[in-house]
Structure 1
Amino acid sequence: MREEDTINQRIAQRVRELRAARGLSLEGLAAECGVSRSMISVIERGESSPTAVLLEKLATGLGVTLASLFDAPDARPEPVARRAEQPQWRDPASGYLRRNVSPPGVAAPFQIVEVSLPAGAQVAYETGARESRVHQQVWVLEGRVRVTVGDEQHQLDSGDCLAMALDQPTGFHNPTNEPARYAVVLTTPANR
């Protein structure tokens, strides 16, 4: 099985698990997140390579972070996450590559994600406030990233770090001809 198929199956199982835990029908989740019932059904069957924007809407409707959609369902807590075992996923729309760095199954108040944003790529998340407030810090490791939070734009260069709450539309853009790499550290809602 291709790595892409494996991660799509993991996302499918995780969305089903989280929806069931919240007691939501497909229609109920569709109403919560603004994604059609039929699209959610396709994702839950693992028959789609959903975009980051779509997954963020689902995560918001499920009351979790986007990073938690990549967790292995029923993962046994392990204190170490070896790089080779950290799930990676490529957004089919922007081409950005995200890797969940944090050990799976560990109850921690935060998660760490590494993102590689191709030259010229951008991704914009439309979602706003969540049930549980989520804070995020973006630390640029290489390159330059322009982050838009609501109406504010922040130009971040290598070494810069931006703190923000995920309570309004947010966008990431690499305005250069070189790939950018950044780490995202975000708080984890209690119902992760």
Structure 2
Amino acid sequence: MDINARIAARLGALRRQRVLSLEALAQRCEVIRSMISLIERGESSPTAVVLEKLACGLGLPLNALFEVTLTDSAPLVRREDQPQWQDPQSGYLRRNLTPDNAYFPVQMIEVTFPAGASVAYETGQRDPGIHQQIWLLAGSIQIRVGEQAYSLQQGDRLGFDLDSTTAFHNPHPEPARYLVLLSSKGHLP
């Protein structure tokens, strides 16, 4: 299944689970109703910022919109079975490494962040129950968490709770590649 179709199905299912109309979700997340409808029908390729707003409106972390439930608990997930999504605005590429499964209390995501790219998640209502670790595998990147700015070099690790705004910027001529680990506070690695 195409990643936009997968996001469309997941968004629609999560909205219906919460018994929210398109209008109610639009008011919660400040995304216009018609945009949500287009996304749910798989007719729009949403940006990372729009997806973050939708996830917050649903009371979930962004990664919840990318989760894939596997029918078995096979220990091996082949690269071609790991969903990839590219932000149409910044060009950043994210690949989910961990399936949505009760056996996995943490989620792993690999991100390739292009040279010159920026993404700012300004959503005020972040999930304080989620902890994020970023381990920079290649390149360098600047990350702002709330009012605190960090400059990461290859091998650096940054950990923070998802309870404030965050912004990512790569002012360098090479892409940055990093691993993201997400865990609920009850399952900190």
Query: Do the two structures share a fold, i.e. TM-score over 0.5?
Result: yes
* 1:70 aligned partner: 66
Which range moved further: 41-50 or 20-29?
Answer: 20-29
Structure 1: runs of 5 or more not aligned: none
Q: Find the residue that maps to 1:60 and give its secondary structure.
A: helix
Q: Deviations over 1:115-158 (max 9, x none)?
A: 00011111111113345521111110001010001111000111
Any conservation in 1 of the 2:127–2:163 contact (CA below 8 Å)? no
* 1:33 aligned partner: 29
**Counterparts of 1:84 and 1:13, CA distance in 2:** 20
**Counterparts of 1:146 and 1:122, CA distance in 2:** 9
Q: Find the residue that maps to 1:67 and give its secondary structure.
A: helix
Q: Find the residue that maps to 2:4 and give its secondary structure.
A: helix
Structure 2: runs of 5 or more not aligned: none
Any conservation in 2 of the 1:135–1:186 contact (CA below 8 Å)? yes
**Do residues 55 (structure 1) and 51 (structure 2) align?**
yes
Any conservation in 2 of the 1:125–1:169 contact (CA below 8 Å)? yes
Superposition map of 1:1-192 within 5 A: 6-72=2-68, 75-78=70-73, 79-130=75-126, 133-188=129-184
What is the Cα-based RMSD across aligned positions, in Å?
1.8
**Counterparts of 1:131 and 1:99, CA distance in 2:** 21
The alignment's TM-score, normalised by the length of structure 2, stands at: 0.91
Give the letter for the 1:116 counterpart: T
**Counterparts of 2:154 and 2:179, CA distance in 1:** 11
Q: Find the residue that maps to 1:93 and give its secondary structure.
A: coil
Which range moved further: 115-124 or 28-37?
Answer: 28-37
Which range moved further: 76-85 or 153-162?
Answer: 76-85
Q: Find the residue that maps to 1:148 and give its secondary structure.
A: strand
**Counterparts of 2:125 and 2:31, CA distance in 1:** 16
Any conservation in 2 of the 1:135–1:187 contact (CA below 8 Å)? yes
Q: Find the residue that maps to 2:5 and give its secondary structure.
A: helix
